[in-house]
Amino acid sequence: MTEMHKDYAAAKMGMWLFLFTEILLFGGLFLLYAAYRHRFVLAFHQAGQALDVVLGGANTVVLITSSLFVALSITALQQGRKVRCQWFLALTILMALVFLVNKYFEWSAKFSHGIYPGSEHLAQLPQGQALFYSLYFAMTGLHGIHVLLGAALLGVVMAFVARDRVRQDDYVLLENAGLYWHLVDLVWIYLFPLFYLIS
Amino acid sequence: MLQAHTNSGGHILGNGFLAFIWAALMVCTAITVLVARVDLGFLNVVAALGVATAKALLVILFFMHLRYENSLLRWMVFMAFVILAICIGFTFFDLAWRP
């Protein structure tokens, strides 16, 4: 009988290499933020006060909790508790949806004040404030896409767990999906204070 | 034998331990929100980034399991962040001394 060889360490290293490109992608945007913040201190301060700390804080709690759930789902599968693993994955995806619904309300409030990418109102604001909002939409938008993709990936893994393609003795795909999800959390850990709190 | 090839060598993080890390992250979030309400000037930025980095370390080391990975992977991740720090740090060497 020939067993297909799977290299666990290489699978995980490959995932980390991909995550490095994600870190540098967001890192470049953080660098842009830092450079413009350095140049327009007061404008960033004023624009930052318009963001909703409660919604931003709630989303921080939601994402950190979702990170806990995905870690618990891995522990459950390692212990051979398949149904428990699936429940925690479902809860993680639910948290991702809660995050996106919050984001929808937050962005809607900004849109109703005429602040959205390319709006006339944004063009009339002082340069520093316009830059702040442009970075805010670009960075939280890119992060939101990552939340959506991460949730979709966890959904696929959940289906694989149901069909035993991911199981107690072969779960590196679940671990890698979890790593991606934690990275999404990691980016938000920096986005939250930089946009919502430093004002 | 199959087991050794296909998983992380059986290292399992306990539910209670994971919940403890979550609680620590929640405490950090509360601290960062509360500190932001006090006007400390430039120290506000330092505090916010310091707490965020502490949270990031908790997520990377425990949730992302890096504390228990082999040293090659640990050094790779460390170097990725060193490169990011060089990228941001050197930009500010330029920016900070520009008239």
Mean of pLDDT values over B58-85 = 95
Question: What percent of chain A is modeled with pLDDT above 70?
Answer: 97
Least-confidence region, from A86-90, A115-119, A135-139: A115-119
pLDDT in tens, A155-196: 999 999 999 999 999 999 999 999 999 999 999 999 999 999
Q: Is residue A135 part of a domain?
A: yes
Give the residue on B whose Cα is nearest the Cα of A193.
B48
Q: Chain-wide mean pLDDT for chain B? A: 88
pLDDT at B41 over 60: yes
pLDDT confidence band for B11 (50 / 70 / 90): confident
| Percentage of residues of chain A with pLDDT beyond 90 | 85
Task: Please indicate whether, in this complex, the C-beta atoms of B84 and A67 are within 8 angstroms of each other.
Answer: no
CATH number of the domain residue A63 falls in? 1.20.120.80
| CA-based nearest distance B6→chain A, Å | 5
Does A11 reside within a domain?
Answer: no
3-state secondary structure of B69: coil
On whether residue A78 sits in a domain, the answer given is yes
How many domains is chain A built from? 1
**Partner-chain residue, chosen from A34, A169, A179, that has the shortest CB–CB distance to B64:** A179
Instruction: Give residue-wise pLDDT tens across range A111-129.
Output: 999 999 888 898 899 999 9
Best residue of A5, A60, A189 to probe chain B, by most B CBs closer than 10 Å? A189
Note the pLDDT of residue B5: 44
Residue A7 lies in a domain: no
Please give the average per-residue pLDDT across B18-40, as a whole number: 94
B42 confidence band (pLDDT: 50, 70, 90) = confident
pLDDT (tens digit per residue) in A16-31: 999 999 999 999 999 9
Query: What pLDDT is attached to residue B1?
Result: 38
Residue at A2 is within a domain = no
